[in-house]
Structure 1
Amino acid sequence: MQVKKSLNANLILKRLKKALHINTDIELSKLLNIKPNTISTWKKRDTLDFNAIISICNLHEIDLNKILTEKSHNEKSTNIFLNDTPLIKREIQFEYCLGNEDLLNSLPKYHFPFIQTKISRAFEVVGNNMKPIINANSFVVCEVSDINTIEENAIAVIISKTKGLIINRIQKNNSPLENNFILSNDNTFFKNTSIDIDDIKEIWTVKNVLITM
């Protein structure tokens, strides 16, 4: 899973090697079970495989939040709001949509420096209806929003009372007789639909995409 233009890939890899007590990209590639030139590609493109980073941190009991947000000695000191963003993978999305209040307390939580709100979520993407902007198996990192203030054509995660979790661009229906939103897809294979406002339990604005490799 890549992170594009959100986190400094070179810096994160340096922190990870330091935490693992290794010095070279070759050593890191062996631990990540990837080719050494893959790491070179990440550095050139300023991207990284987020799933691999999470897995190696979990395996070696490394605090992922320090890998993502800790400031190096050469970096200028800045005030970063440390949010706690729950990671909602596909296998628990049905339970999440049901409104299990205890679920969030049991989920892993991460600090994403590009999120500036206390209420946020990271949802795993199941379908390809928003491809090529968002691919299946990626994660969308979102901030809480409101149906009355969400921007026109914003990409949003909607928790529907009847349809579960939906990821679409959201557009207001200008007809005074309609109480719904138009849900559009970036992938033309999928047809646009609509959703009644009363059917929306939660709405989250997508702020960043952790892109699947």
Structure 2
Amino acid sequence: MQAKKSLNANLILKRLKKALQINTDIELSKLLDIKPNTISTWKKRDTLDYSAIISICNLYEIDLNKILSEKTYSEKTDNITLNNTPLIKREIQFEYCLGNEDLLNSLPQYHFPFIQSKISRAFEIVSNNMKPTINANSFVVCEITDIKSIEENAIVVIISKTKGLIINRVINDSPLENNFTLSNDNAFFRNTTIDSEDIKEIWTVKNILIRI
């Protein structure tokens, strides 16, 4: 599951070069520490390494909203509402799970055109338990939800009171009313169960910003 095609790779790369004040793909490839032909592949396939885009924007203090927005700010109309999605990188996930109320105010927040909810998060994935669907180091962009609204076999990020941040498919096949099976796409990992009382937050994965 990739970001929707409305995020055109050529347009994003053009905006990024403009923000970095460079003109060529070769210059951009050096800044991203990738091979020049990788950028050519991105353009051809209309896909990107969004983790690299986010990192370079953070490094050079570039407003990622201006890079990823479906329209430029001059093209937006008054009836378009921007969502602000905090980026929860691996380094701060433990603190996030502890419920630090001031943490969100200090995080970079981005607008993703494919997000409709006013409450959203982008989590960096640490484990390969959902590989090949989601690889470690990718980001998942999520909308807030509750356990009763989860569709069968949906991929979710759960903030657990006892286990911290976990990402799994949720399957309601337990004989106990409040227990749910957490299924992994990687056969190396065993499925487990979770009690709904152990869930602090639950987020539905809407898009995966894949790391190529």
Normalization by structure 2: what TM-score? 0.90
Instruction: Give CA-to-partner distance per residue, 1:51-102, whole Å, 9 cap, x none.
Output: 32223323333211101116269x8989654111111111211111111111
Aligned to 1:180: 179
Please show how residues 56-205 of structure 1 align to structure 2 within 5 Å: 56-69=56-69, 71=71, 80-173=80-173, 175=175, 177-205=176-204
User: Following the alignment from structure 1 to structure 2, what is the Cα–Cα distance between the partners of residues 167 and 59?
Assistant: 27
8 Å CA contact retained: 2:174, 2:180: no
Pick closer, same or farther for the CA change 1:178–1:57 going to 2, 3 Å: closer
User: Following the alignment from structure 1 to structure 2, what is the Cα–Cα distance between the partners of residues 77 and 38?
Assistant: 35
Pick closer, same or farther for the CA change 1:130–1:59 going to 2, 3 Å: closer
Aligned to 2:51: 51
Q: Please tell me the residue identity of whatever aligns with 2:60.
A: H
* Alpha-carbon offset, residue 23 of structure 1: 2.5
8 Å CA contact retained: 2:51, 2:139: no
- Secondary structure of 2:147's partner? coil
User: Following the alignment from structure 1 to structure 2, what is the Cα–Cα distance between the partners of residues 179 and 173?
Assistant: 10
User: Following the alignment from structure 1 to structure 2, what is the Cα–Cα distance between the partners of residues 153 and 78?
Assistant: 37
The answer to which of 130-139 and 18-27 deviates more is 18-27
User: Following the alignment from structure 2 to structure 1, what is the Cα–Cα distance between the partners of residues 70 and 154?
Assistant: 31
8 Å CA contact retained: 1:69, 1:113: yes
Aligned to 2:24: 24
User: Following the alignment from structure 1 to structure 2, what is the Cα–Cα distance between the partners of residues 49 and 190?
Assistant: 26
Q: Please tell me the residue identity of whatever aligns with 1:193.
A: T
Normalization by structure 1: what TM-score? 0.89
Q: Please tell me the residue identity of whatever aligns with 1:210.
A: L
- Secondary structure of 2:67's partner? helix
Q: In percent, how many aligned pairs have the same letter?
A: 82
8 Å CA contact retained: 1:7, 1:68: yes
* Alpha-carbon offset, residue 178 of structure 1: 3.7
Give the superposed CA RMSD.
Answer: 2.3
Q: Structure 2 stretches of 5 or more lacking a match? A: none
User: Following the alignment from structure 1 to structure 2, what is the Cα–Cα distance between the partners of residues 28 and 84?
Assistant: 27
User: Following the alignment from structure 1 to structure 2, what is the Cα–Cα distance between the partners of residues 55 and 199?
Assistant: 33
8 Å CA contact retained: 2:140, 2:206: yes
Pick closer, same or farther for the CA change 1:32–1:84 going to 2, 3 Å: same
Aligned to 1:209: 208
Q: Please tell me the residue identity of whatever aligns with 2:152.
A: E
User: Following the alignment from structure 2 to structure 1, what is the Cα–Cα distance between the partners of residues 70 and 5?
Assistant: 17
User: Following the alignment from structure 2 to structure 1, what is the Cα–Cα distance between the partners of residues 156 and 34?
Assistant: 33
How many residues align structurally? 210
User: Following the alignment from structure 1 to structure 2, what is the Cα–Cα distance between the partners of residues 91 and 83?
Assistant: 23
Q: Please tell me the residue identity of whatever aligns with 1:201.
A: K
Instruction: Give CA-to-partner distance per residue, 1:96-131, whole Å, 9 cap, x none.
Output: 111111111111111111111110011111111111
8 Å CA contact retained: 2:83, 2:116: yes
